[in-house]
Amino acid sequence: MAESDQTKLQRLERKLAREKLARKEAERLAEQKTAELYLINQSLSQQSEKVLAAAEAKSQFLATMSHEIRTPLNAIVGMSELLQEAELNSEQKEWVSIVNISSQSLLSLINDILDFSKIESGRLELEAVPFDLRLCMEETLEMLSIRAVENNLELICNYPDELPRFFIGDPVRVRQILLNLVGNSVKFTRQGEVRLECKGVSMAGSPDLFRIDVDVADTGIGIPQEKQAAIFNSFSQADSSTTRQFGGTGLGLTISRRLCELMGGSMGVKSTGIEGEGSHFYFDLNMPQANVEEQLPDLSRLRDLRAIVVDDNKNNLMIIKHHLEHWGVKVTEYIHPQKALDSLKGKSKIDLAILDMQMPKIDGVELAGHIKKSRPDCPILLLTSMGKVKDARNRDLFHAQHTKPVRTDVLLAELLSMMRPSGHGSAKQVVGQNESVLAESIPMDILLVDDNALNRIVGSKLLERLGYHPDLAEDGEKAIQALKRKQYNLVLMDVQMPVMDGITASKLIQEQWPEEQRPHIIALTADIQKSTKDALEDVGVEQVLSKPIQLQELADSFRKLSL
């Protein structure tokens, strides 16, 4: 029997009612989901704000702690450095040395913790400025030469002459990586050598972009293969036992690897774990070549000179020979001093000699004495890993002495100074600049501004060591008043001070003094954040030195001023 129209209508109404209920339920669920999503977004937003606020608070806390810790450290490092130059007995010198080494270790630890925190929070910013990569490598070894001498190690730097020197990158962070790797090698090597070398190739399709591969090799204790991956972890070391021989936080390699990665590179290690075979730490960086016009010296006076080089270390011998030949010098090298002596029995002419100090059977002083007997006019350059020869009679044998590894530019300058402009044969003595009379070559009236009394004392003593007698001011406001009374060439300006801080004072100096009367400003700060450095640069500060201030660093900054 056919279904009635009324039944069909009822079924349709029920269906429509069900669909209406379903739509309402869907709308209710959609509203519920929207509300839930809104609450989730609100919660996430609040959490994000909390995280950002926590990161900002952490950053501010670290900046404050950096300032508070570095301020007393400045006095400890500065005063101990000055004490080391005073007339002390051997026991007192040892005590002062311990204070200085301990304060430097504490400073290094503080720097590592701050850097690690910045990297973890994503707040570490890298610079991109032109810098001299070869000089960066050589200065790193120079900084570690004293520690190497104490361990009786050879430090070797091999930078190929055909590789460009100037690149665009962050020189501070590149040097930090090098110091960590080379410093570790020196620390864990009891005898032999630590070798730093690099090579570079231009990238295909981008001739100005170079891949730089750096290798740090040593003859130390090595690292067992099962522990090689872990050494790059935070606070991890190859030897974590309670009887371990070597200290450290285990942060250095972690920071170095992360810095490499931030600069687009990578880092690794190779080691058999056998003592004496040592380790190879390697890393690579991609850096564009800097468009810097290098001032090349006149090498004509070195062309076709005849030199003998004597060194029992094959790597040193090879590197020095390579540099000399690149400059046009004809080189005869000897790894055995006796063979060099045998060659002197003939009538062959020698224009100059470069001798290592520490050699078996016949050392550099004895060999130099033999050379002077047969060739009294031959200038001799002595390279030593033990500090300079102090005996006056022996010292007169040499045109100059340098601690190994000698910087390439220093070696070249020394060779040029040995030769008369006409080219051959006679030593030309050049007296190096003494830091204690820097004020004679760079005379300046200096105003030192710092609210901390100890810092003013330390700063004054450091400046007196350089031959200066600074005036003092306790804050930025008093510095402005002092500048109105007297014209200064240079203001050494602390940053965080009461009454008026260094940034405000520097801005007023830039605004109120005409350029021809405006003093140079070097900021001294314990706040090493990039934002602080940028703010100082914006108000006319030319250089920023991080506390604690080192004497050599202060002298170098003065030489950079265009007075």
pLDDT per residue as tens digits for the range 308-350: 999 998 989 999 999 999 999 999 999 999 998 888 887 778 8
Q: How confident is the model at residue 107 (pLDDT cuts 50, 70, 90)?
A: confident
485 in any annotated domain: yes
User: Using one digit for the tens of pLDDT, what is the confidence trace for 465-475?
Assistant: 888 999 999 99
144 in any annotated domain: yes
Verdict on whether the full-model pTM lies above 0.75: no
Verify that 54 and 152 share a domain, yes or no: no
Verify that 277 and 187 share a domain, yes or no: yes
User: Using one digit for the tens of pLDDT, what is the confidence trace for 510-531?
Assistant: 999 998 899 999 998 876 667 7
3 in any annotated domain: no
The pLDDT score that the predictor gives to residue 434 is 45
The pLDDT score that the predictor gives to residue 389 is 60
Q: What is the CATH number of the domain that holds 473?
A: 3.40.50.2300
Verify that 223 and 265 share a domain, yes or no: yes
Q: Which of 280, 257, 283 is nearest to 270 (CA)?
A: 280
425 in any annotated domain: no
Verify that 84 and 34 share a domain, yes or no: yes
Verify that 190 and 105 share a domain, yes or no: no
Last residue of a domain, one of 387, 418, 449: 418
Verify that 503 and 531 share a domain, yes or no: yes
Between 533 and 510, residue with greater pLDDT: 510
Contacts of 405 (CB under 8 A, 6+ apart): 138, 141, 142, 145, 155, 156, 157, 316
Q: Which of 148, 161, 154, 68 is nearest to 110 (CA)?
A: 68
106 in any annotated domain: yes
User: Kind and range of the H or E element at 392?
Assistant: helix 392-395
Domain count across the chain: 4
Q: Which of 345, 338, 329 is nearest to 381 (CA)?
A: 329
Rounded CA-CA distance 239/191 in Å is 20
- 244: pLDDT strictly greater than 90: no
User: Using one digit for the tens of pLDDT, what is the confidence trace for 444-460?
Assistant: 999 999 988 778 888 88
The pLDDT score that the predictor gives to residue 40 is 84
Verify that 24 and 168 share a domain, yes or no: no
Verify that 337 and 480 share a domain, yes or no: no
User: Kind and range of the H or E element at 116?
Assistant: helix 90-120
Last residue of a domain, one of 98, 120, 142: 120
Last residue of a domain, one of 388, 418, 448: 418
Assign 196 to helix, strand or coil. strand
User: Using one digit for the tens of pLDDT, what is the confidence trace for 130-150?
Assistant: 889 998 898 888 878 878 877
Verify that 34 and 112 share a domain, yes or no: yes
What does the DSSP assignment read for 219-255? -S----GGGTTGGGSTT--S--STT-S----S-HHHH
Query: Containing domain of residue 485, as a range?
Result: 436-559
Verify that 60 and 134 share a domain, yes or no: no
Verify that 273 and 136 share a domain, yes or no: yes
The pLDDT score that the predictor gives to residue 2 is 53
